[in-house]
Chain A
């Protein structure tokens, strides 16, 4: 047995019966004749560094070498910091990152490996045992604790004074309103959720190319083309990103004979159809247009919409078609919107149809 100090053989141990709770059994049933006895600790096997002074010396040298590697790592880091400026090309940035990182890694790994190696090969490796005690406090302690609480309740007399108790509870329950009210009042800006139902598209609003803002002539859109579209004047709005998040549109020209259905009569122009780019599932931009199949695929969750068939869902987790933007051309041949979308764009929300 190698347990010496405050250790002892496991199976000689007595149960800690002072904690009389019936559900506390610290010992397994090893004294039962049904069970095998715990054989106690096995023999201790010495390490090479315990018996061989040369091995011991070698281990010590290895630990020292590892610490030395750490010091070299730190020196390397400092050198790299001064020797390699960041520059402005990926190569110089890469060089700086790599040398600093390797210096840091060596500085850290050297210390870590040295400490562990020291503990494993040079420090005393005799296992020790410590007793456990049940978590539960003794019955006497419990009784005393209960009495302490009882005394406190008695002193405060809260049990007898109902009105006082009520007043205490009410004031404690009410005061958080002073923080919550202004917070809730202001945290959602104006709380006008009706804004979710409208975009900045309007009658005669020109369709322009994202991100350059060039207006689009219908004649310039060839069959098989796809154009990512924003409304004209987006940048002049108060919150361009908020508006863009609702207003982005995907414009596609199909062979008019390929169009199977549309969401509204006359909403397309000569095979040019425009659909909201915001997925009706959870709002990713649906932008992968496959020219041959007329399918639009969402890269986030793979909802697939058939552009030739009113953007109906053919696969994936979306339910509703992408809303179609009614378009036409103005006098100069530029594509313009006929109106806003006829339904809220993007993901479903509870009151979207109200």
Chain B
């Protein structure tokens, strides 16, 4: 025992001593209190998600004090004039009560709903940041998967909560869900009974969703957030490329006090902005929709924004694809529902979840990465991400086609047809354009490194020749543009060895090579010191500037391999300096 030292004096010290003797917390404080986090605004996107989740917990606990998750019928006798005497479920009645008869109740409800929309928006933007900067690469692939599951849980939390007030709008959302469930082959009707406790709407769905919404899903989210953050501490945060930042260090500010203040303060900012929205912007006024009844529906029947892509997907699908199998009285297969509601999101989400693994398979890159990519330096990935987002965005717009029709005075049928084509053409066009932009930006970087900034200064030589003076980049400016690894498609061993025996695993390698070519065939490589040297030697006018940064004179050697596998080796250097297609 180490408690033999002099007794501590002062209240704080005594408390610390008490705690440390029982928990050994001193070790943890020493280890973590000054942990370094890099500073960048985009690293705060995940924090928006975290803090809006905390906001959701706080406001959600408030709401559960007053909400009654029951579908028993009651007659309304509260103050809202358009609801006098209306028959409604207790869930709806208690929603009205907590909005109109509990001081601050409406505010908390609006804060809760705005926070939910912000939560999902923050998850999506955070995920975009991670994707486009390659932060999901080894060793963080598993954390990407954890984040992906959090996204799905966020959807589940949002959807289950949206349905709780038992109003007409969300009730029709549940009815659509029921229709989609019923379309599932063989077990559809049984699954529908499973979810609704018998026929739609039944008396069970609201209590069931309540348990899902306040216990099951938030519990899982909390656990996974803990895991997500544990991984962040374990891996240490990634950082953007820059002078002094390497794969072996992390540069930034200490947790205590800078991040306690910045991140702690940001929690209050997030909560404050959401409170501001709850104070001034009306959201989901369920009294306008009325209690659920299977007969009415209102124009503008849409889910919250994060489910809008599903709605759009359902709207775009032509109906011809419903089939009856095995004879005229056979079984009904509703591909007109299954494709948009199951296949399309399935494909989008699977691509998203598996992308880190696909990329590392294709590139053969098995190294740890802690310095982020600039999106332009990974044209395929950036273009692929933009293309996926475009598909998502077109579906979101398609889900809003009636609002677009009324606000832009267009025909809803025309809009639907345009989106049907755009869903296929848009992502493709986005891919091509983004990739060209990335390659062009990389060439611009090369140009800048090789020739420096234009100064606007014209110099006349004694010979009468005019040139413009270019100012070379200083080492820090240059580093940002040359720090990344050159990328090349992997090469594989031939199908047969020297004795003509076909080797095992050739087919996998072949596929891998094709994928890799897709990723890296079109590329612009970073400037090497030799290239810079060469450009200086035959472009002597550039040397007029302050060129004190001479690159190392040594040239060429074995290049650092991009592929890591034993059979995989990088493409031969000769003739591939900067192949641009």
Contact = CB atoms under 8 A, between A and B. Distances in A.
Interface of A: 3, 7-11, 13, 15-16, 22-30, 32-42, 81, 85-88, 93, 96-98, 100-102, 104-116, 118-120, 123-125, 127-132, 134-135, 184, 187-191, 193, 195-196, 210-211, 228, 230, 239, 241-242, 244-246, 248, 277-279, 281-285, 287-288, 299-303, 313, 315-320, 346-354
Nearest to B475: A39
Contact of B294 (A22, A114, A189, A285): A285
B529 A34 contact: yes
Nearest to B315: A301
Nearest to A186: B197
Interface of B: 34-36, 39, 79-80, 100-101, 103-104, 106-107, 110-111, 139, 172, 175-176, 178-180, 182-190, 192-194, 197-203, 234-236, 243-254, 257-258, 261-262, 264-273, 275-276, 278-280, 292-301, 311, 314-322, 324, 328-334, 336-337, 340-341, 366-368, 370-371, 401-402, 412-413, 416, 475-476, 478-479, 482-483, 485, 526-530, 551-552, 554-557, 559-560, 564
Contacts of A112: 265-272
Contacts of A300: 172, 176, 297, 301, 311
Contacts of A303: 319
Given A33-B552, A284-B176, A115 B265 contact: yes
Contacts of A315: 413, 416
15 contacts: A9-B244, A11-B246, A33-B554, A35-B528, A37-B552, A93-B100, A97-B106, A112-B271, A116-B269, A129-B249, A244-B293, A245-B294, A301-B314, A302-B402, A316-B416
A257 to B, nearest CB: 27
Contact of A281 (B193, B254, B336): B336
Given A300-B176, A350-B189, A130 B35 contact: yes
Given A25-B367, A129-B250, A348-B182, A299 B298 contact: yes
Contact of B243 (A32, A41, A108, A193): A41
Given A105-B276, A129-B244, 20 more contacts: A25-B247, A28-B247, A28-B485, A29-B485, A33-B555, A35-B529, A36-B528, A116-B265, A123-B258, A132-B249, A135-B235, A193-B189, A245-B175, A281-B314, A282-B341, A288-B299, A348-B334, A349-B188, A350-B189, A350-B332
A196 B183 contact: no
A350 B322 CA distance: 11
Nearest to A183: B194
Given A112-B269, A285-B295, A26 B189 contact: no
The SS class assigned to the A binding surface is loop
A135 B100 CA distance: 55
A106 B280 CA distance: 13
Given A319-B319, A349-B188, A119 B262 contact: yes
Nearest to B415: A302
Contacts of A87: 79
Nearest to B481: A36
B244 A189 contact: no
Contacts of B201: 241-242, 245
Contacts of B330: 353-354
A39 B479 CA distance: 7
A84 to B, nearest CB: 8
Contact of B319 (A123, A195, A299, A316): A316
The CB with the most chain A CB atoms within 10 A, among B80, B337, B530, is that of: B337
Given A33-B552, A132-B247, A350-B189, A86 B261 contact: no
A15 to B, nearest CB: 7
B341 to A, nearest CB: 8
Contacts of B300: 299
Contact of B193 (A40, A193, A245): A193
Contacts of B101: 86
A113 B182 contact: no
Contacts of B293: 211, 241, 244
Given A34-B556, A100-B103, A245-B294, A111 B268 contact: yes
Contact of B332 (A30, A239, A302, A349): A349
Contact of A244 (B265, B295, B316, B328): B295
Given A10-B244, A244-B294, A284 B331 contact: no
B560 A33 contact: no
